[in-house]
Amino acid sequence: MSTDEFIKGLWRENPVFVQVLGMCPVLAVTNSAINGLAMGLATTFVMLMSNMIVSTLRNFIPKQVRIATYILVIATFVTIVDYAIAAISIDLHKALGAFIALIVVNCLILGRAEAFASKHTIGDAILDALGMGAGFTIALLALGGVREILGSGSLFNVTLFPANFEPWIVMILPGGGFFTLGAWLLVINFFKARKAAQEAIE
Amino acid sequence: MNPIWPMYRALVGVGMLCGLLIAVVFEGTLPIIEKNKAEALEKAVFTVIPAAVRRETIELDGGEVYAGYDESGNLAGIAIEASAMGYADILTLLYGYDPHAETIIGIRVLTSKETPGLGDKIEKDETFLRNFDALDARVDESGSAMRNRIVTVKNGTKTEPWQIDAITGATITSNAVGEALGSSSERWIPKVKEWADEH
């Protein structure tokens, strides 16, 4: 067990900015910061549970049926999250309603189950899920924040600009998701390339 | 041993466990969810009829509407459910109808899967909600139909008191609100008005 399993998900192997996994929810739900945050937390929970189960059962599941079994496990926890959110707050459920079911098709969760949890001990699988979940949540917040500021002129529903600010509606539409993701990837790769160049000189 | 057996064991075993888990969680959360929904409806009735302090469920023509009474016991308004197809799924609303002024005095979304940030503006956009401060809902002379059908019009083109000014960027959801109110008011308001006049 090592803390690197946790840290790698935050930056070096960030699921969104480096692995570019789970693009469907990344682009669809991040039109406001709060939606990004809620989606990130829900995904983290599902990933934590599925990583735990998959890691526990890794010697029990034959490889021919592993994908079907993983999807079964993931879908179960997504359904549980759906009921739990409806029971906790009907308003939160109303805000996220359409997106909770989308967690099932997030290839990040299936990817971590297949690439990591099925080959590692339960402790490592838990750290991996928490790290990847945190990295995913941060990335969703980064996208949702930028899109909400430009597209609605607010952040976490707090208005930032005076009334004469004309919001860029395109930023909260699907196209804005692609623009923002592209801009973030540009910024991150620019810094990575600069760091690599510096290291090469040294 | 047959090599198929471990596959059956894994898939059927995990499937049964997952099914059991979902059933347990469903049974466990169902009463809470039902209670939340009933509370949300209760709150919605008092939101759409601001003057009401007490409500009664009224069975009318094979359906239910909710009558709200003010502090002195007078009928303050009637809350009616409406639904129409939105952008993602069926949108259900509750709206308050004032039988004295013959206007719709408030709406509240009950269930919606509209796009957060766009379609859900019908609940938050103040300019849009101002449409329902006093939306004209008069019945015609015969008393059995609406004088004007409630419709949604393009943003900024509202000219008549029975029109709803749409939200820019949320046209489909705005139209769904107009459609829900238009069809529900034609079905319910003449009967509700008749009932209110008798009481």
Please list the ranges in chain B whose pLDDT falls under 70. 1-2, 116-117
Spatial distance between the Cα atoms of A60 and A81, rounded to a whole number of angstroms: 26
Sort out which chain B residues have CB atoms less than 8 A from A69's CB and list them. Answer: 10-11, 14
Looking at CA atoms only, how far is residue B25 from chain A in angstroms? 7
Sort out which chain A residues have CB atoms less than 8 A from B117's CB and list them. Answer: 31-32, 35, 148, 151-152, 172
Query: What is the tally of structural domains in chain A?
Result: 1
Q: Is B113 close to A69, i.e. CB distance below 8 A?
A: no
Amino acid at site A42: A
DSSP state of B104: E
Contact by Cβ (8 Å): B68, B157: no
Instruction: Give the residue numbers spanning the domain of A187.
Output: 4-201
Render pLDDT for B123-157 as a digit per residue (tens, 0 to 9): 888 888 888 888 888 888 877 888 888 889 888 88
What tokens were used for B98? 């004032």
Of B9, B11, B117, nearest to A31 by CB-CB distance is B117
The SS3 assignment for B34 reads helix
Render pLDDT for A4-47 as a digit per residue (tens, 0 to 9): 888 887 878 888 888 888 887 788 888 888 888 888 988 999 99
Of B15, B22, B113, nearest to A98 by CB-CB distance is B113
Residue A97: predicted pLDDT: 64
Task: Give the residue carrying structure tokens 């009664």.
Answer: B56
Render pLDDT for A137-178 as a digit per residue (tens, 0 to 9): 999 999 999 998 888 888 887 888 777 777 888 888 888 889
Q: In degrees rounded to 5, what are phi and psi of residue A145?
A: -60, -50
For residue A104, what are the contacts with CB-CB under 8 A and spacing of at least 6? A71, A74, A75, A78
What tokens were used for B12? 């059927």
Q: Write down the mean pLDDT value for chain A.
A: 86
Q: Is A80 close to B6, i.e. CB distance below 8 A?
A: no
Residue A4: predicted pLDDT: 80
Contact by Cβ (8 Å): A134, A43: no
DSSP state of B88: S
Contact by Cβ (8 Å): A51, A112: yes
pTM, to two decimals: 0.73
| Element of type H or E holding A180 | helix A174-201
Spatial distance between the Cα atoms of A100 and A58, rounded to a whole number of angstroms: 27
Looking at CA atoms only, how far is residue A25 from chain B in angstroms? 13
Spatial distance between the Cα atoms of A13 and A42, rounded to a whole number of angstroms: 20
Contact by Cβ (8 Å): B51, B61: no
Residue B117: predicted pLDDT: 65
Render pLDDT for A61-96 as a digit per residue (tens, 0 to 9): 888 888 899 999 999 999 999 898 888 887 778 767
Cα–chain center distance at A171: 19
Does the interface predicted TM-score (ipTM) exceed 0.90?
no
Render pLDDT for A111-142 as a digit per residue (tens, 0 to 9): 888 888 888 899 999 999 999 999 999 999 99
Most B CBs within 10 Å, among A45, A67, A72, A171, to test the B interface: A72
Render pLDDT for A178-200 as a digit per residue (tens, 0 to 9): 999 999 999 999 988 898 888 88
Number of residues assigned to chain B? 199
Task: Give the residue carrying structure tokens 């009932």.
Answer: B195
Cβ burial B91-127 (10 Å sphere, 16+ → b, else e): bebbbbbbbeebbbbbbbbbbbbbbbbbbbbbbeeee
